[in-house]
Structure 1
Amino acid sequence: MARQNQVSESLKILIPLYGTYLVFALCIFLIFIPQTKQQLLNQKKEAILQLTDNALSLLRDIDSKIKNGEMASDLARKKAIDHIRDLRYGLEGKDYFWIIDMHGTMIMHPFRPDLEGKDLTRFKDTAGKYPFANMVETVAKNSAGYVNYRWQWKDNTERMAQKTSYVKGFPAWGWIVGTGIYLDDIHGEISIITLKFIQIFVGILIFILLLSVYITHHVLQINKRKNQAEDDLRKSEKRYRFLADNATDAIWILALSDFRFSYLSPSIEQILGYSPEQYKTMTFGSNMTRDSVSLIHSVISEELKQDNRDGMDANRRRNIELQVSKKDGSWIWVEVSARFLRDRNGNPDRVLGITRDISQRKDLEQKLLQTNADLHLAQQLSSIGNWSLDPDADVPFWSDEIYRIFERDSALGAFSAVEHLAIFTGKWKTLFETAIKDARERGIEFNHEGKVILPSGQVKWIHAICKPEWVAPKQRYFLRGTIQDITHRKTMESHIQQTQKMEALGTLAGGIAHDFNNILSAIIGFTELAKLGAAENKRLKDNLDNVLTAGLRARELVKHILAFSRKADVHKDIIQIVPLIKESLKFLRASIPANIDIQTRFMITDATILADQTQIHQVLMNLFNNAAYAMKEKGGVLAVELDNFDMVTDIPPQFNELQPGSYVRLNISDTGVGIEKHVMERIFEPFFTTKVRGEGTGMGLSLSYGIIKAMKGHISVSSEPDMGTTFQILIPKQEKELTPAVKHLPPSKSIKGNGKILLIDDEPAIIGWASKALSKMGYQVVGMTSPLEAIETFKSDPENFDLVITDLTMPRMTGLELSSIITAKRPDIPIILCTGFSEELSPDKMKHHGISRVLMKPMVVDELSDAIEETLTSRRLKE
């Protein structure tokens, strides 16, 4: 009987094994190999389709040269035939292309030149098919397709084989280009695969036969040892019963047939309050929660299923936790550790278990879980995590928050010491390397901030604290500490510093604007006077026009400086950017070495944006000059590219501050010295520059950054040392009526006037040119640089003057104060106020001080004459 059971156990293993082998073999030879053959055929058909498309692409390229007049038609066709005739592919390099026309005439065949020029529509293969007629018909109906026929084996005219070809028409020339595959190639490859599978299955069969012998022998040995173990168990059961009766934990035996306890140790009364006899009479599970009863049945069912699996430990244990009620009605948690007991045949029929009261432990676990949850929440809210490092370990322990900070999967474990130091950059790597070494070896605490670059490329700032603790038994230091993500704080600090710098720059810009306007007024004024005296000297007038144009652009630049310092508004118009780029490059070309080549590539030529053209001109010149500076020693290429860039919904992370829509993208690249990484982080900071003293102010890129950001655009830079630099600018695209992008010098007007004007400005140069210009127009001018002296002159004879022109900002007295004094003496006198900015001059304020009109500095003669004429005309109309 025992022998029969042993053979039965062996067959339970061997029959499924042989059955699986047979099913697998049938699947391979009946399903896999036929599918592989079809798949291989499909792949080769797809390959010849792609090859044919490549050949047609060559024809299209040559055809485009014919259309562009680069090549004669006959020469082009001959070149195409020669090129395709030489095309070969395949393992032997003998697979080829051929060409026929839509009438079935062979144009080119590399291995059958005897057919070239012949009408093959009636040509039959050895199977009686008309292959070339079928090709023409297929292309005529579908423009392309596959044709099956028999044909000579590549270049061997003696051997015929089944062939599948792909043909496609080239309508422009009336050609059909084709190439094909031989089914014999596929049959050969499948035969090789089949032979390999046969060899594999023979080897597997030999292995299975040897495995069968081993399994049978092993099963016999297992059953022998199992029977011996059962005998030993019965002999020792009495000894175990004595121990169970005197144990603190409850020991019990439960029959699987009726779920009744056959044995309960006396300690069950100490745990639950029931005597063993009382508990045996109770229905199983009556003093447990529903979840606990369900868990018991689930575990027993699972273990019974696993017991039938080969290699399972017959003495394995399972531990579960249950909630049960005591005799007094209170609920407690118990831990049950149990395993199967078996009958003579090795089948489980009972459960041997130990029950232990773990209520106190569960209470402590719950408190610990709550404490950990509170700690986790606190760490999450403060972005701070704790870590520790045992002196004998290379990998530290991390809390969950540190894994989040370093964006690392907890399943991978914490960084090793080498990995941890690798994420630090520059000086911070040395700082933390020294700090950790001193902490481990000398017990020195550290409290440092540093910048890290995570494997994902994310840059973060962290604050790390370490408190070493001396471990006497190991004579080494145990490290504990915290790591906090302070990226947001650092970003805010950087923004605050940037804001402070920009505020300082604004204050500086506003302070110098007045003096700069006065200087420009003199330059523009005397230039216009010089033009008046140039007479018919065209060359001199042209030169003076260039000076005046530059002065007017400088005036626009001053307006931008005032807008930057919040003392004037930026005037934006819908403008075309391409003319501005071309104009800026024209200015640049005259000032850079000849070994710098300027290349432009405008994918769009009518791109329009909403911008202040002076600001855009400044951005372009800043970037162009920086690029030229980077190539000043060795020369190179300055490349300017312009195209459209559309963002709909999937906005790339680097542009997440931009709104969806259409943008104009401008790329400015150079092949110069490049930019170091540590410099790249600061290039947009005000006053930061890498140029030598006297060659740079550090303002160009910061102003460019501010201008583009104010336009709701984006500016970024990519660079590597010795690999050049590329600036990318995105500006929102506008689709509206255009304002001319380049301002031209207005034509000079010849205006004659009369009247006496009192002119007051603290700049003698302005008094000088304005007096001369107004005198040439016919006005009598009394110019004065002191407002106090001007008041005395006016008071001496108020009716002697027809108009007062005064500067706003002057020493000892402002133009507003001066106007109030003058109008108090003579209320009807018109006053023109000259200023570099008019932000604080509201209409009410002007009326209060008697100002008739405001004229913006720096002035040009035409603007000044227009303002005087309009003011005097308005006064005469009122009279």
Structure 2
Amino acid sequence: MPPIIGGGKTGQLVRETDWSATKLGDYQNWPQSLRSALSLVLNTKGIAALYWGPEQWLLYNDAYSAALGDRHPWAFGRPMPEALPDIAPVLAPQVAEVLRTGTGFAIENLPMMMHRYGQDEETYWTYGYSPIQGEAEGFAGVLLLATEMTQQRKVEAALRDSEEVARADAQRVQLALAAGAIIGTWNWDLPSDQFIIDEAFAQAFGLDPALGREGISLAQITATVHPDDQAGLSDAINTAIERGGSYAHQYRVRRADGHYHWIEANGRVEHGPDGTPLRFPGVLMDVEERREAAERLAESQELLRLAADIGEIGEWHVDQATGAMFWPPRVKAMFGISADVPVTLEDYYNGVHPDDRQATLAAYAAASDPDRRALYEMDYRTIGREDGLIRWVAARGRGLFDAEGNCYRVLGTAIDITARKANEIRLRELNERLEQEVAEQVAERNLFATLVETTDIIILAADFDFNILSINEAAANELARIYGIRPKVGDNLLSLLADQPEHQEQVRAAWSRGLSGEETVIVEDFGDPDHDRPHYEIRFRTLRDTAGKPIGAYQFVTDVTERLREQAQLAEAQEALRQSQKVEAVGQLTGGVAHDFNNLLTVIRGSLDLLRRPSLSDDKRARYLDAISDTTDRATRLTSQLLSFARRQALKAETFDACDSISKLRDMIGTLSGSRVAINLEIGSLPLLVRADRSQFDTAIVNMAVNARDAMDGEGTLTIAVQETNGIPAIRSHAAIPGKFIAVSITDTGSGIAPDFADRIFEPFYTTKGVGHGTGLGLSQVHGFAKQSSGEVVVRSELGVGSTFTLYVPKAADEAPSPVQSDEAIKPLPKGACILIVEDNVDVGTFATQALHELGYKTKLAGDATAALAELGHDGNGFDLVFSDVVMPGMSGIDLGREIQRRLPGLPVVLASGYSDVLAEQDTHEFELLHKPYSLDELAKVLACVSDRERA
């Protein structure tokens, strides 16, 4: 079926709407009468609408949508009572009547309050209804054609107001002339700005009359106007000149005696044919007494209004002869009637609630009955005519009678007592509920007393003198069991234990804490050690009277002997499990390391075998040698990682900016964390210098960041902050450490750390992750690095909120980062220099000798420190440098170096070691340390650096 043609924007809305999703149903199933009527509405130029069916579905055209304001397009296609709740009480019954009778009608200038653009607006409408016949018998819809008269009514009202103002101006001037209130006149020539004023005008403004006769300016006149009135006067004059016509304004002027006086200026601005303002004549009136009288009247009226408002009193009276009623807005509101709607006796009769109507009307009739002349006193309910609300009204009144005894008027007062009645109802309900609650509380207390007496929990209350205020059966039985006493209410707890001084002192100490106001929990053993001495968990709470004043304390005591025993057994089992897990982890690590080293050794062994083959080409020989070199490097890195996790890695301390280092790590951390983790850096603009191993520092930051990522399950916010602190706080078993430190905090929004795990997170191989998701070595490296760097790592965590790991590293004393010396700047040891090699391992010593010969140096090999000192003699015996192993029988390499420094201060010493303890303590001595295994390049570079430093 083709869609409706035309109709502007609302026609387009009809075509675009999926009507099958509405209660009107699919457009294809609409009856022909609906489509025809809607087409007529949509293509009508004026305001038109269609109310369809008993639900009064609202469909309208573009002109109607403009009248709806901001309710379009929401209102389109909805039931009219739902879409237009403000005017539906008027329209809905009219539409229903047309549907029922099939008779249309028209209404002119009907006022209606409409809510448009966020505010209520009084509107006026002229409209007519026409019924639309449906396919079946009867009428299916109503056509509305309307014209909004609101703007026309406003124009008419403005015209009436203008005419009324002109008449009021003329009447005011005539009255003033008659009363002799005019005290001066003026004629103002507007083009020249010259006032011609009479003597009375000059006196009123405190001016020289001679100036007024010659002409003065507006500025001279307004100079005497009160400062608070000048702006208003200027606005009033400018408005009158701009629009022309009458002018009236009141303000204060200063007279010759210096006092201000109220006057009223009345005049009229005359315009030329071209609209140019020409003349502004007027008169001046004294309104001082009038304003004083008006103020007194306003004050009196305000007092009366306040009195009525305070009492919420509405005054009313009824003309019995005509039935005319005077109801002020306050009384009308009690009957749900708008302030501007006239009322009759019928409104009063119908407005009284049906259940109260008979008694109320009988009381009113008695008040107007000449024979009874009763006082009209009634409290009754009303049903709002417009809003349907039920209100309570207290009415008081009496009839007025003429000489013949006829009641000609009934007058009285009315007060809205809805709130009072509601309070009375609430009070009655509250009393009933209170009675019920009292009964329930009594039953609850009886039940509570029964529970207290039958529970196994020990309950006892005492005052500040240790006198027992309350005790249950369980407490009495327990004291009898462990002390041999059975106390009751009124007994003194300490007096009962007078013959057991050691127990008395223990009880006194525990109760003193509770009676001091300390709400604490104590776990302690009590009783005779020769008999039963159980452990108790005691909870003390302050005991208060009904006014909240402390009067003693009470305790809840539970026997936890068995629980403590089970906890101890559980702790032992958990410790045994941890040790077992450690052994298993070490075994796994050992197996993995052995596997890696076997792979490395396989490459080395295979390359060596291939190198022994005859007729080996040079390129293959170079390839096998490169394989051995690369494999050795990998083995070295693997050893370094193991030493790091074992906290035996050598740290190469240098001074660097922690902020700069972390800034450079940001991209790496972002890649490791993933796109769902937001990274915030809180780093200042000033450098924060630390003294540590930069590589290990970066590794620790990355390990903490990865741990934070895992805690957030890959989604959340990771914040890295760097700041200077004065000391490290006390943590775990360590006291606070004073000094200057740089603190790097990494905060996550993850799951937090359970208290049971907090003390174990830094243990090597410990992890809460599943198998294959972590080795438990990351945080161990962080802890090991912090300890080796004379720092600390602190953890703050809250379950469900997140954790903060803070790494403390000593602040560097240097003012700038350590300079990086390029290889080109290093002056190598001169060729032919003589080096004393000290090495107890023959193979290593032979390798070192050959390596140094390859580098162009002369060498001498000594098997231990004693032989080395003998070779050096008292003057160094021509040696330029000593290259010694650290771990040797007898005197170590470090001790040898110190002895050489003592004897020969200018002779350089270089140490070499692969032992973990020595590597970990590298910063504890002043010698350059070469890590085994080392290459020729590394050996040459270290020797050159040391000799260059010594020569400098």
What TM-score comes out, normalization by structure 2 length? 0.31
**Structure index of larger Rg:** 2
More helix by share: 1
Q: Higher relative CO (CA 8 A, sep ≥ 6), structure 1 or 2? A: 1
What TM-score comes out, normalization by structure 1 length? 0.33
